[in-house]
Chain A
């Protein structure tokens, strides 16, 4: 009789013990997402031809080979190998292009500590488009215009092996804009797509486009043509903090600030200005409507302003636009500050001016180093909360700027054919 109870009790005890012993399955390690800073290549979208010679400027921390590949029409168009010189720069001309038009380019480096930019220069003007880290899902380019006598082209490049699908939305002074042709743009692998925005969204004084990448990876840029000049800007990722030094140039009449938001809610924006009396906080507080943009003049920040900081409650893209008689320049501002900057192609262009904003309350000891062998560095001191213009000349792939405090860098290249406005590229400190 005991056995009748004993065995079931024993079984229950064994199973209960087993239950207690059983450990819950460990949480699955979801792994680490790819580190964008570890990528050893950059991509860009641009336009070459019709008198515009293209080249890729490279700055890298080590010597070694760099491979530049341009694509169009589903295939590689040009694949060029070059060496990074001892100064850490390389300027790779994109010769032998069979036809002009939109191109996508990829620069592959021997190290992750490298950056690249697509430079076009010629009779129509000079443009510089920064190459960006691939894989970003939201890109914004602002500051375009489709007024009469102006053309604005959107170039979307997919230099990779996977087809991409991109949703393009636009905003202008009239609010959120739309064009059904842009709702879903398929960019096949190793191809570029060019959309002329003037026919689709005519007579916008200030137009920004937002690329939402639904599949694959793309790079985007806006190509602005006005009488006597050409300008371009790359599409970049939104951020909550932007800086810019106020730039000046011959023939530049107005300087406009465009702030574009991809947030689905209204974004509060505050602008702190750096003027003759130092920092003036919240000189302007405005609201960007959802999925829209706002525009204002630099002059609206006050007289003598040399720079500004823009902070937003949601990620935005802030762009600077230079407008003048036969002059047009546009570029994103700098997303944050850095002690190390690269100004691509500056030495190969015409007269180039670097505009360095020191927003800190410390003096900035800056060294401007040409990316060309045997070129001497040039020291510059910038007082606290002020801006300094530094003119550079000479051959090479550009200049490295190393500062003792964090600064913001933009640059202009002035020539007979107009003005080019560019943004410094923040780099790793050991570049």
Chain B
């Protein structure tokens, strides 16, 4: 503390000498500002106008003020008899006692830089600034609402991260060492820059609310928004040490780009453009920034931690983004800090937490980038959605399910959810990626919030998000997109269920709405997922106590009811056994080492943890055990297995979150045990982070995005072609039927879509197809194409070495087409269309309707026979035979399921205002 330690007033000079520097903004307001400065009760030694505009000289001369074009000349001319320099914007009107209050508080608090309370000159009772905090990236957080009235509610002299540059009083020697204000910066950024440089030079930066300055805000006119952002970047580059910059720059970039892209998806493209322009601006000025930074080296006496002390945790940009989003639903992402006092800032002075949240978010976003940038890799149950969202919605709402040879059976609600969101977003093709992105962000934030509400503190609750979304148990859902995405929503559902039951009816109504809103996506993505809430409530009741009271179990049952209501259109049209259908191939067991690591973390933490950590880690352990045990029951498969994995994954993440919060106040043996648990948890984290290079979160490689493009290219103009895929079940998209040890399935169109992933219960036509394939495989028919033509199969795609390959080597009407390496593709030379009229012109069969010329005759529709097909539907073998007179055949939807789907939509929509109305207001 030697270089520029502010000089303490000499006892012989009781009144510090002040000179004012008015920063030129515009010619119109300059005379008024000079007059206001001159009228200060505390006398000025001199008034100087700073600026390079040609209009300044005559105005300054007329007002009796000096004029300098830049700070260098001005500071050089300041003598040692001056103690303070008051920097005032040329578009401001300081109240007469403004500088006097500044000097008084600066002297009393031994501050080197003090700033005024800034009020809107147009509405003097409106606050513009009373000093502010920032996040680690320099983003200001004042806590003021726009247009907030000044009721002197913030009139506390306090240390702040930065001051508005509209009115600041700086010790003369400090300002000389700093070189003045960076005039290249926008006004707010200039204040931040000066404040940060003052602090690393050892100065104390305080706001003095009793010093009031009215601000005309002319300096902000014609100011492009990105300039402030660019200025903040430059301030950060100048102030932070290289060590801090090493992580702050990439993190800031990630946050900025994420924020920009998120707002872009929300229809506000400017944020992303602003970020890019700000980054470009800084890149162009990097030499001057580095030069300024170098000039600060001799006076740097404070470390970066001194800056961190006055910063808020987290990212203000992300907080603003999520708060804005969540407020629409009445949720609270985290506690709002309000105007940050010194004590609050010091209490919340955890840049490490901010870094952790940002790093975890960055990690999961990077490790799963292939899933949310566009569509997920098409493989297994990770398939793109159909382009025709309305058709998928109609199918979900009791319509014809065209999967395989068609069925009136329900469509899985996951594609229904995607289609509903896609429709709400105006057909946005990136809906699936958006849902994935939402799941990732909500998963990290939601787990941190859930564990906090359960009583866990520290950054481990956020780091555990990696285990939740990328860990070994989550990996069991890699490839099953709906279940994996449900992971991000499960913590929110549990938080809704496990939070203490509110005391008022309004809050209770809001809670009900919240339970519906948070359970709906879980139920849609994993129909048995709400059962996780029941398991969580019961185990929580048993070991956590406070949040897991009996009301939690009731809330969980309410969540199950809500979930069933939301997917009632699905449940009404599907056999209960389908929920346990193992066709989706999810199993709960990860690598044994992952189980062992989780058990080590559980045991060591459970035995040694104090406070709430103990119950929380035990609750997590029980969830893990319940999930693993349920998943091991042979009769439990399909959707129940998915729910089991959800429970086990959440349990493992909870264990890790608790184990990472090592209690350093414990005795040495406990710390050693906790360190072992934390180490095991870190290994689990690292296992999750192993997905960073690949970027697919462990999902298998894309197999189907474009492999069937030839189908579209060679389309027969009679609607989407039916493709028969044959191969090992693990290589086929979605669920498969099995024949002679290999899998097969039909795909309608050039790409297997998510709505075709789940197979309905086999019907007569499906049985006929199975028999036909068996005949072809076993007897090697000479004309298999003719047999398959009955099912409107135009293409046969064979993967790997399966028995049918041998049969198709020597046959007469499936011509091999060398279209795609790695697959054997046959075109059926005897193909027949899906909708085949007995007379007249060709028909076109879409997913759920077929159209053709009007007139007489009948049309054969190669879908499973069902009386719902009209008009005049009859069964022709296993297929439909319909009247072609109207030129249109369609399926009459199930009215009960259509009503259920409509009711479900209304329930979700009504729960939004209910949640808003009944939210907890702080």
Contacts and interface: CB of A to CB of B under 8 A. Distances in A.
A32 B742 CA distance: 11
Contacts of A99: none
B779 A28 contact: no
A199 interface: no
A217 B782 contact: no
A7 interface: yes
Given A17-B629, A162-B815, A163-B816, A216 B779 contact: no
Given A4-B614, A10-B622, A11-B624, A33 B599 contact: no
B740 interface: yes
B350 interface: no
A-B interface, 4 closest residue pairs, ranked by CB to CB distance from nearest: A31-B740, A217-B810, A134-B810, A18-B632
7 contacts: A14-B629, A31-B740, A34-B780, A35-B778, A134-B810, A162-B811, A162-B814
Given A8-B607, A18-B631, A22-B589, 16 more contacts: A8-B602, A8-B618, A15-B629, A22-B632, A30-B740, A31-B741, A34-B803, A36-B780, A40-B779, A135-B810, A161-B785, A161-B813, A161-B829, A162-B814, A162-B815, A189-B815
Given A161-B815, A161-B816, A217 B614 contact: no
Interface of B: 543, 589, 595, 599, 602-603, 606-607, 614, 618, 621-622, 624-626, 628-629, 631-634, 739-742, 777-783, 785, 802-803, 806-816, 826, 829
Residue of A22, A112, A162 with most partner-chain B CB within 10 A: A162
Contacts of A40: 779, 781-782
A33 B811 contact: no
Contact of A160 (B602, B621, B739, B809): B809
Nearest to A107: B782
Nearest to B816: A162
B809 A161 contact: no
Contact of B632 (A19, A28, A31): A19
Contact of B810 (A29, A33, A112, A160): A160
A425 B741 CA distance: 34
B821 to A, nearest CB: 14
Interface in A140-169: 159-163
B810 A108 contact: no
A39 interface: yes
Contacts of A224: none
A327 to B, nearest CB: 35
Nearest to B588: A18
A3 B543 contact: yes
Given A14-B629, A31-B740, A161-B829, A216 B607 contact: no
A38 interface: yes
Given A7-B622, A10-B625, A14-B625, A31 B739 contact: yes
A34 B807 contact: yes
Contacts of B806: 33-34, 135
B812 A135 contact: no
Given A18-B628, A33-B806, A38 B811 contact: no
Contact of A29 (B607, B740, B782, B785): B740
Given A31-B739, A161-B811, A7 B543 contact: yes
Contacts of A299: none
A34 B628 contact: no
B337 to A, nearest CB: 36
A41 interface: yes
A21 interface: yes
A43 interface: yes
Contacts of B631: 18
Contacts of B779: 34-35, 38-40, 112
A162 B614 contact: no
Given A3-B543, A7-B606, A35-B778, A159 B812 contact: yes
B815 A135 contact: no
A30 B621 CA distance: 40
A31 B813 contact: no
A234 to B, nearest CB: 16
Interface of A: 3-5, 7-8, 10-12, 14-15, 17-19, 21-23, 28-36, 38-41, 43, 69, 106, 108, 112, 134-135, 159-163, 189, 215-217
Contact of B628 (A5, A8, A14, A215): A14
B589 A161 contact: no
A357 B658 CA distance: 88
A207 to B, nearest CB: 27
A159 B781 CA distance: 14
Please classify the interface of chain B as helix (H, G, I), strand (E, B), loop, or mixed, using the class held by over half of its residues.
helix
Contacts of A216: 809-810, 816
A108 B782 CA distance: 7
Given A5-B607, A7-B606, A31 B742 contact: yes
A106 B633 CA distance: 54
B741 A7 contact: no
Contacts of A32: 740, 777-778, 803
Nearest to A163: B816
B622 A11 contact: yes
Nearest to B602: A8
B21 to A, nearest CB: 66
A291 B736 CA distance: 44
Contact of B618 (A3, A21, A23, A160): A3
Contacts of B782: 39-41, 106, 108
B812 A160 contact: yes
A113 to B, nearest CB: 12
B593 to A, nearest CB: 13
A11 B810 contact: no
B778 A34 contact: yes
Nearest to A216: B809
Contacts of B741: 28-31
A26 B816 CA distance: 34
A69 B782 CA distance: 11
A39 B808 CA distance: 12
A39 B780 contact: yes
B829 A31 contact: no
A315 to B, nearest CB: 19
Contacts of A14: 625-626, 628-629
A19 B589 CA distance: 9
Contacts of B778: 32, 34-35, 38
Contacts of B814: 161-162
A34 B802 CA distance: 11
